Amino acid sequence: MPAPANARFAASHEWILSGVPESPVGISDHAQAELGDVVYVEFPEIGRTVKAGESVAVIESVKAASDIYAPVSGEITAVNEAVSADSALVNADPYGAGWLFKIRPSHPAEADALLDEAAYLAQAR
């Protein structure tokens, strides 16, 4: 499944949209496939200020619990209630309905400095 053209990736497998003032954040298609069936997501608190690389959420799959890190610094502005009700959305549509939370970047240039999909996939393999 291809990511949106403006998706930028952290090496820790999260994506964010570049050039969007309040961007959804999710995990890559590669990451959801590696994790297996997602059964639970522990979301960050709305309004929390986070630093890039900080652990902000936990994804639980049938295999294991995995930390999700903020790809950029900023403020958490929303969490995806649809995923809370049906966590399989993370597997089914990681770049769409399966987003996890929204973040308002404090330094928008941080997202631009992340990897594009090709570079991310090259290092993820």
Q: Applying CB under 8 A, which residues contact another protein?
A: 36-37, 39-40, 42, 58, 60, 62-65
Question: Which of 36, 96 has the CB closer to another protein?
Answer: 36
Say how far apart CA 29 and CA 33 lie, in whole Å: 6
Per DSSP, 54 falls in state -
Residue 112 is encoded by which pair of tokens? 């631009």
Question: Which of 5, 64 has the CB closer to another protein?
Answer: 64
Question: Which of 35, 103 has the CB closer to another protein?
Answer: 35
Closest distance of CB 47 from another protein, Å: 19
